[in-house]
Amino acid sequence: MPEQVYDPLAPLRIDGAPDIDVFVWGTVFLDIIFTGLESLPGDGQEIWAEGMGSCPGGIANLAVAAQRLGLRTSLAAAFSDDAYGDFCWETLADFEHVDLSRSRRFPGWHSPVTVSLAVNRDRGMVSHGHPAPIGPTELIGRPPRARAVIAELGEGRPLLGASEPTWVERARADGALVFANVGWDPSGRWSREVLDQLQVCHAFLANADEAMAYTRAETPAEALYALADLVPLAIVTNGEEGAMAIDSESGEEAVVPALRVSALDPTGAGDVFAASMVLGTVAGWPLQQRLSFAALCSSLAVQQFGGSLAAPGWGDIADWWNSQRADPGTGSYHRSLLRRYAFLDDLVPDVPVGSGRRATATIARRADVPGYP
């Protein structure tokens, strides 16, 4: 049965509106994921995994997460002309329907690779790669008009140009909302200068440890308030404690608990959360709904193995909500879910049968992971 497409932004598709919803730039890795391991191998030891899958990773996790949620997504990245590059390009362009018009193939450049070992609800990773032959300015030029862009803050990855505008500044000048996230600082410096770049951003997402380290705050809540002084939309995620956010433009403040799920692999869950927040913001949802939706989508992701393999589609969201509505349970937690996600009643009836789900055809043919068809 052909996959049916659900467009949550259909009311915004008017003449003169951007054709692209989300534009991203970064490095695409070939991810090879081994699952069902009881432990990591010891010195000189060979162990067998119960399952494995392969999929595009790195920035592709974010691109796939956004596309599966119905956001028209464009990705700028360097791709090799080797077999790994062929696989990643084909998967993203032909099966996930990510726009690669700003991406390029580079003969002789080796595709970056990550091997992920899922053990005891966590994972260890080994990666290899080389810098891309050209940087984002030369690769992208002027970005396509988009409703939003997602960029990563960090030393050596400036969003502000010293002599000429960066791709982020150009996208913002053309009307895009800039969403920024941040990675772990292995140097331990957590330079405050990184946060100076937030002056071009509409939203900033960080986990609690990152937020507290950059703001020098003692609690996630204090870190959130500090970030809300720097950017209109500040979001802090806190693992099993849930997430919190402040939207200074609308005057909203929200806190949502995490869902009770059996987490198998957190790889890519942050990307799913970010893509969900972008969708809700662009669609104009209230902050509480945006945050609740992002918590739901990321919780669906961690119940499966492996980055872009686990990113949920609207079919998965509809399945989850329909199962909650059909559940006869009367416990307080179940009643809380029904109240918290009642807004899905306005969305799920419009989701056509056969809408996108995790592990679409091309991924599934290259996966041997329990739970995937």
For the stretch 90-127, pLDDT in tens is 999 999 999 999 999 999 999 999 998 878 767 788 99
114 in Cβ contact with 32 (< 8 Å): yes
**Tokens of residue 22, six digits:** 């989300």
Q: How confident is the model at residue 369 (pLDDT cuts 50, 70, 90)?
A: very low
Q: How confident is the model at residue 366 (pLDDT cuts 50, 70, 90)?
A: very low
Look at residue 367 and tell me whether its pLDDT is greater than 70. no
Residues in the chain: 373
Provide the whole-model pTM: 0.90
**Tokens of residue 306, six digits:** 């492996």
Q: Any residues with CB less than 8 A from the CB of 296 and at least 6 apart, and which?
A: 259, 276, 317, 320, 341
pLDDT tens for 300-349 read 988 876 678 889 999 899 999 999 999 998 899 999 999 999 999 998 87
Burial classification of residue 251, based on how many CB atoms lie within 10 Å of its CB (0-12 exposed, 13-18 middle, 19 or more buried):
exposed
Q: Which range among 13-22, 33-42, 318-327 shows the weakest confidence by mean pLDDT? A: 33-42
pLDDT at residue number 363: 37
Look at residue 42 and tell me whether its pLDDT is greater than 60. yes
**Tokens of residue 11, six digits:** 């009311």
In eight-state DSSP terms, residue 4 is B
pLDDT tens for 47-89 read 998 888 889 999 999 999 999 999 999 999 999 999 999 999 9
Task: Give me the phi and psi of 150, to 5 degrees please.
Answer: -120, 125
In terms of phi and psi (left: phi > 0; alpha: psi -120 to 50; beta: otherwise), the region of 116 is: beta
Task: Give me the amino acid identity at 261.
Answer: V
Q: 231: closest CA among 218, 242, 215?
A: 215
Strands 203-207, 233-237: pairing kind: parallel
Burial classification of residue 329, based on how many CB atoms lie within 10 Å of its CB (0-12 exposed, 13-18 middle, 19 or more buried):
exposed
pLDDT tens for 271-308 read 999 999 999 999 999 999 999 999 999 999 888 766 78
Q: 223: closest CA among 237, 233, 238, 208?
A: 208
Q: 205: closest CA among 114, 272, 123, 116?
A: 272
How far out from the chain centre does Cα 223 lie? Answer: 22
302 in Cβ contact with 266 (< 8 Å): yes
Look at residue 360 and tell me whether its pLDDT is greater than 60. no
pLDDT tens for 227-269 read 999 999 999 999 889 999 999 999 999 999 999 988 777 778 8
pLDDT at residue number 337: 95
Q: How confident is the model at residue 40 (pLDDT cuts 50, 70, 90)?
A: confident
pLDDT tens for 155-214 read 777 888 778 899 999 999 999 999 999 987 888 889 888 999 999 999 999 999 999 999
**Tokens of residue 126, six digits:** 């080994």
